[in-house]
Structure 1
Amino acid sequence: MADRIRASEVTMATQQSSKPNYGVDAPGVLRNLFLVGGGALLLSFFVPHTVHLGAVVDFRSSLRWTGGWFVFSSALFLLYVKYGKFQHRDFMLSLYNWRGNEQVLDVGCGRGLLLAGAAKHLTTGHATGLDIWSNVDMGGNSEAATLHNLQLEGVSQRCSLVSEDAQQMPFPDDSFDVVVSNLCLHNIYDRSARLRALHQIVRVLKPGGIALISDYKLTGEYAAEFTDAGLIVQRRWGSILTTFPPLRVVIARKPV
């Protein structure tokens, strides 16, 4: 029954799109940036030029500067959604020398951008995507949409999906040569749960394996936990031109 439901969902996704669609990251954030910026700019045309608040404040100019910054930020975010995240995916995957036989795990795979990219580096290896498919963190997020993208990318035979929280991964110890994740772990708001997810990454990573964890915040926390777990850790900035907010990659190698 479950297989028939999944097949039906994939068929519906196929009818909706003939090209891979990797959605809009944090659609609520993008919407709010645009609405606040546009609202401030619009309001600036209707308020007094100056306001007396103990001192004379150039209220109209303040609204225009604020609105301009939010609109500019929304434009940078949209640039990342439409272009930058593809460049950042390629940057992340270039940090590892691929053999082709790796077992790969993508934590928080979303609609499969990083998962499909990793799978294209494989010949005899396999890539697993782990997610709970939240629509808050990714627009139009669903397992069916991910499966459809993997089919369109021609990598579905080398991939599988698992619906589970990152803090309770259903994999044996030392299962994966490469663990990747982008803009996922900060969405685990409880720190103790987030640390459990980091410990799960360490647990399932094979000796000699590498974790590539990208985020716009908390990367210091990730690096510290990996270091405490005995991994060898580096950090690299992504492009400041095409990632907004700027992303940093934690590179953690598990000693043999």
Structure 2
Amino acid sequence: MTINPPDLCRRRGDYGIDGDFRVIPARWQAMIAAAIVAALIALTVRNIAAGAVVGAVVTGSLTLGLVLFQGSYLYTTRVGKFEVWSRLLTDLRLRGDEQVLDLGCGRGALLLMAAELLPRGRAVGIDLWLADQTGNSPEAARRNAEREGVAERVELETGDITQLPFADNTFDLIVSNLVLHNIPSPADRRAAIDEAVRVLRPGGRLAIADLMATNGYRARLHELGLTDVRRRNLGWRMWWGCPLFPTRLVTATKKI
């Protein structure tokens, strides 16, 4: 029996901002971006006052482009990804008793959306809790699980997705959002795909969204014998600043 899903876009938790903050903290990055925009605005005003039409057009266009880029990025990380994954999870027509694994769960954005669809199931998140998201930590994920009212059906693990600490054929569904590209080695990304397939039950489904290397994920899933392997662009709601940085989804099913 399928369940009538809740409104997954209505979130109560705090899921931070996605990005690479290992070298430059998020606050500094925001200050730098704001300073660049302010400088471009000032230069545009100066060009207008001086009658430098071409210069005003150039600096004005750069300002507008940067503002739109930042706006698109913030929309995706704060709104767009929830809208997209809400639709994706709903379309899976879960029964509600599945075992679901989120690879690189972070603060729980995707993990807890899945957990809301599992009144009789379990959602497991695994992460190394690196600085690829503001405030990323198991404590933040647990707080969000409490706020969303799904703490009793959520488990968190600290671990490497290239060496999953789970038995073969454990999960009915494996999901991941913008995680595998953080693994620098192609061999290790391939190992993460192999591990996901290992712990996926026969008949289980896989849905991995990422910024790059998704053609490689698709090819590896074909090699491993999965069926209905597909790859598609998730559209403007998951552009990271502009159409040049889209998110693509790879889905597949493990043979029974």
Q: Which bracket does the TM-score occupy, shorter chain normalised? A: 0.7 to 0.9
Counterpart residue type for residue 254 of structure 1? K
Where does 1:136-147 land on structure 2 (aligned, <5 Å)?
137-147=132-142
Could you tell me whether the CA contact under 8 Å between 1:37 and 1:71 is conserved in 2? yes
* Aligned position for 1:15: none
* Aligned position for 1:177: 172
Where does 1:106-255 land on structure 2 (aligned, <5 Å)?
106-135=102-131, 137-232=132-227, 233-240=229-236, 242-245=237-240, 246-255=246-255
Could you tell me whether the CA contact under 8 Å between 1:34 and 1:70 is conserved in 2? no
Runs (4+) of structure 1 exceeding 6 A deviation are 47-50
Gaps of 5+ in 1: 1-18, 51-57
* Aligned position for 1:92: 88
Q: Distance in 1 between matches of 2:126 and 2:113?
A: 15
Structure 1 vs Structure 2: percent identity of aligned residues?
A: 36
* Aligned position for 1:78: 74
Residue 103 of structure 1 deviates from its aligned partner by 0.8
Could you tell me whether the CA contact under 8 Å between 1:102 and 1:178 is conserved in 2? yes
Where does 1:49-60 land on structure 2 (aligned, <5 Å)?
58=54, 60=56
Counterpart residue type for residue 199 of structure 1? D
* Aligned position for 1:62: 58
Q: Distance in 2 between matches of 1:93 and 1:35?
A: 39
Please provide the CA RMSD for this pair.
2.3
* Aligned position for 2:4: none
Q: Distance in 1 between matches of 2:152 and 2:129?
A: 21
Gaps of 5+ in 2: 1-11, 241-245
Count of aligned positions: 230
1:10-35 deviations in Å (ceiling 9; x for gaps) = xxxxxxxxx41011111658736555
Residue 165 of structure 1 deviates from its aligned partner by 1.4
* Aligned position for 1:23: 16
Q: What TM-score, normalized to structure 2?
A: 0.81
Residue 252 of structure 1 deviates from its aligned partner by 1.1
Residue 37 of structure 1 deviates from its aligned partner by 4.5
Could you tell me whether the CA contact under 8 Å between 1:33 and 1:71 is conserved in 2? no
Counterpart residue type for residue 251 of structure 1? T
SS at the partner of 1:213? strand
Q: Answer with 228-237 or 26-35: which moved more.
A: 26-35
